[in-house]
Amino acid sequence: MPTTRETVLAALHARLQPIAALTLRDEVLPERIPAVGLIILRDGQPGEPEVTLSPLRYHYQHRAELEVVVQAGTGRASAFDDLIAAIGSALEADRTLGGLCDWVEAEAQASVDLPVEGAAALKAAVITVVLHYSTTGPLA
């Protein structure tokens, strides 16, 4: 039986699947970036939980990361902005991931341009997604 952590991360990954970009989980950056863009979900860290004792519950603010990459000649900035907006819309459409989380919140991205020798530059960002959920134990 999967842990709450894994269930929540799988639900986040599934929530991102309908976006036009290729969405991977904990994969290495591929050599070629699809024209529609790329999202890589990194599991991140659950952090230190707050604990309530009656009943015993561990309340996490798990910080997962989305690596977002677009490589396109003209219109790269627009394609990147569209992809970021699509991620925001997907998360806002179900802030509880079907009831698995108390709340899901994305933090603002810090984007960078990455030059690629002999090819169009990459526009990339890391978006931290904070997943608020509770478990019955630190390994549950």
| 34-38-77 Cα angle (round to 5) | 85
Q: What SS3 state is found at 2?
A: coil
* Global confidence as pTM: 0.93
pLDDT value at position 15? 98
pLDDT value of residue 115: 80
Given 3-state DSSP classes, what are the helix, strand and coil percentages for the chain, each rounded to the nearest 5?
20, 45, 35
Which residue stretches of the chain have pLDDT < 50?
none
**Alpha-carbon gap, residue 76 to 53, rounded angstroms:** 51
Summarize pLDDT for 37-67 with one digit per residue, the tens. 999 999 999 999 999 999 999 999 999 999 9
Give the CATH fold of the 4-135 domain: STM4215-like (3.30.2000)
Closest CA to 40 of 55, 51, 48, 30: 30
Compute the distance between CA of residue 25 and CA of residue 23 in angstroms, rounded to an integer. Answer: 7
Q: How far is the C-alpha of 6 from the C-alpha of 44, rounded, in Å? A: 11
What pLDDT is stored for residue 120 in this prediction?
73
Q: What is the pLDDT of residue 32?
A: 86
